Amino acid sequence: MTTDILHEQKILILDFGSQYTQNIARKVREFQIYCEIHPCTLTFEEIKTINAKGIILSGGPASVQEKDSPLCDPRLFELGFPILGICYGMQLITHLFGGKVDSSPNREFGSAELMLNEFSDMFEEVKNNSIVWMSHGDRISKLPTGFKGIASTNNSPLAAIENSSEKIYGLQFHPEVVHTIEGTKILKNFLFKICECSQNWKMESLIEYMIRDIQNKVKNSNVVCGLSGGVDSSVAAVLIHKAIGENLHCLFIDNGLLRTGEKEKVESTFRDNFNINLDVIDAADRFLEKLKGITDPEQKRKSIGNTFIEVFEEEAKKRGDFTFLAQGTLYPDVIESVSFKGGPSVVIKSHHNVGGLPDKMNLKLLEPFRELFKDEVRLLGREMGMPDEIINRQPFPGPGLAIRILGDITPERLDILCAADKIILEEVKAFGLYNDLWQSFAVLLPVKTVGVMGDSRTYESVVAIRAVTSTDGMTADWAHLPYELLGKLSNRIINEVHGVNRVVYDISSKPPGTIEWE
């Protein structure tokens, strides 16, 4: 595998726990260069095998002055690869090469002006005095042996260093974030001028590479995949099907908490268009029975998660022996849900959907997108000929409509929500806004209000419209929907959905709100 063309052009990123590590990977891939992120504890042997064109040491929350601060194997500096240390990575280089790192009297968080002091390949065509993004408490007070300072800011006299003959560079600021105005140029210089990479990370070659990788891993064994209809598991299923054909078996579990028409869409897309082995399991009654009387959001999630695992396990067992469970896990999911083995990142939240499944069923995980971002998965799906309808689908949560029905989940309330939700989707699409919104949906509130229809008094439910813009779901803004659309939605929902006499619009951003109401 190491002779693969992608591997010959690979950039290795060693992660010291920075919240920006994924941004570095993103930037590298935008230049059509393949890269992989590994924990900083990657062994020397593994580093040698990877045979990268260059190595980037990320930032991280630790201080090299602390006793147990994370390290990489120092022998990697003897391999002759160009190396770039960013923030903590730069301080580590300083520490390992006999320089000095001290706590800065003024911690530097936010923007600073970068003064270029010396000519450097790193700064070719970079403007002097441009704004860079700083996020550090420590700074370099003495240069490491063999290095010179090439740029400074008011608080950091050594904001960038280099040893050009050894091709080792350090930046105190973060070139990978958008706030560093010339950051892309600086990274570009490192990748193309210093590492001499060429652009060959194309979707087609990535698909070929991934297919071979899946074939090597899976060999003749069988893979089961829980298809949710969402982008990630859908693209994963199509890719794995390309690699192993009949040995992939997809299960779509209808939990009774799906949007109107969802099940039928998934069935026709996968069975008819892609000829994928697919079983649709109708488990709605079982899920709804278990949810009876539960109003607490966390209890709802737990109940749905547990039932899903039970049903999936039973149904998979009926269908034979599986060695692998395929999932469409993305890089941000990995970063959020697991601390890298031996690495310093912090666990932010645990995976909410099928976390317990692999252990319980003794399955190995097959996660071809562990190093990709959502928009890259979308590109990949498009390249494989998947319809826009699936590729551009708005995210839909694992617990489904249950977390959009506040209070009791009953068949009647589910019907109300489905009908209102369908109207919202229809109208948002008709206004051409579907692809601009991260999500747009209905929420059924557990209150009734008084209204008047015809000449009669009504006492009925309230539906909230939720529509947000976001790039990753981690933060979000309420969408500034046109009044005309809001008016149309209110009109149609109140007229067409029996049991609703009032519609409100949610104007909370995240944080402090969340996207889903539960």
**87 an active-site residue?**
yes
Tell me if 312 sits within 8 A of 354, measured CB to CB: yes
Helix, strand or coil for residue 244? helix
Comparing CB distances to ligand XMP, the nearer of 100 and 510 is 510
CA distance 98 to 95: 6
Applying CB under 6 A, among 116, 186, 399, 413 the residue interacting with ligand XMP is 399
Comparing CB distances to ligand XMP, the nearer of 207 and 309 is 309
The angle formed by the CA atoms of residues 114, 118 and 120, to the nearest 5 degrees, is: 90
Handedness of CA 432, 434, 437, 441 (dihedral sign): positive
Tell me if 11 sits within 8 A of 33, measured CB to CB: yes
Taking CA atoms, 211 is separated from 78, 238, 244, in Å, by 34, 11, 8
By CB under 6 A, tell whether 516 contacts ligand XMP: yes
Q: What is the DSSP letter of 62?
A: S
**8 an active-site residue?**
no
x/- string (CB under 6 A) for ligand XMP, residues 193-232? ----------------------------------------
Tell me if 443 sits within 8 A of 489, measured CB to CB: no
**Biggest distance spanned by C-alpha atoms of the chain:** 88
The minimum distance between CB 249 and ligand XMP, in angstroms, equals: 22
Comparing CB distances to ligand XMP, the nearer of 136 and 404 is 404
Q: Which of 35, 40, 72, 87 is catalytic?
A: 87
Helix, strand or coil for residue 490? helix
Q: What is the DSSP letter of 405?
A: B
The minimum distance between CB 441 and ligand XMP, in angstroms, equals: 9
CA distance 11 to 17: 18
Q: Which stretch binds ligand XMP (CB under 6 A): 59-67, 157-165, 394-402, 454-462?
A: 394-402
By CB under 6 A, tell whether 395 contacts ligand XMP: yes
Comparing CB distances to ligand XMP, the nearer of 49 and 435 is 435
Q: Which stretch binds ligand XMP (CB under 6 A): 61-69, 103-111, 161-169, 391-399?
A: 391-399
Helix, strand or coil for residue 249? strand
Identity of residue 292: K
By CB under 6 A, tell whether 397 contacts ligand XMP: yes
Q: How many residues bind ligand XMP (CB under 6 A)?
A: 13
By CB under 6 A, tell whether 299 contacts ligand XMP: no
Reduced 3-state DSSP string for 166-215:
CCEEEECCCCCCCCCCCHHHHHHHHHHHHCCCCCCCCHHHHHHHHHHHHH
By CB under 6 A, tell whether 402 contacts ligand XMP: no
By CB under 6 A, tell whether 352 contacts ligand XMP: yes
By CB under 6 A, tell whether 353 contacts ligand XMP: yes
* Strand order across the beta sheet in which 278-282 lies: 278-282, 248-254, 223-226, 324-326, 364-366
The minimum distance between CB 217 and ligand XMP, in angstroms, equals: 25
CA distance 220 to 216: 9
The minimum distance between CB 309 and ligand XMP, in angstroms, equals: 14
CA distance 152 to 145: 18
The minimum distance between CB 397 and ligand XMP, in angstroms, equals: 3
By CB under 6 A, tell whether 121 contacts ligand XMP: no
Tell me if 173 sits within 8 A of 122, measured CB to CB: no
Applying CB under 6 A, among 398, 409, 450, 490 the residue interacting with ligand XMP is 398
**124 an active-site residue?**
no
x/- string (CB under 6 A) for ligand XMP, residues 410-449? -----------------------------x----------
Applying CB under 6 A, among 157, 356, 358, 473 the residue interacting with ligand XMP is 473
Q: Which residues bind ligand XMP (CB under 6 A)?
A: 301, 352-353, 395, 397-399, 439, 473, 510, 514-516
| Residues catalogued as catalytic | 87, 174, 176
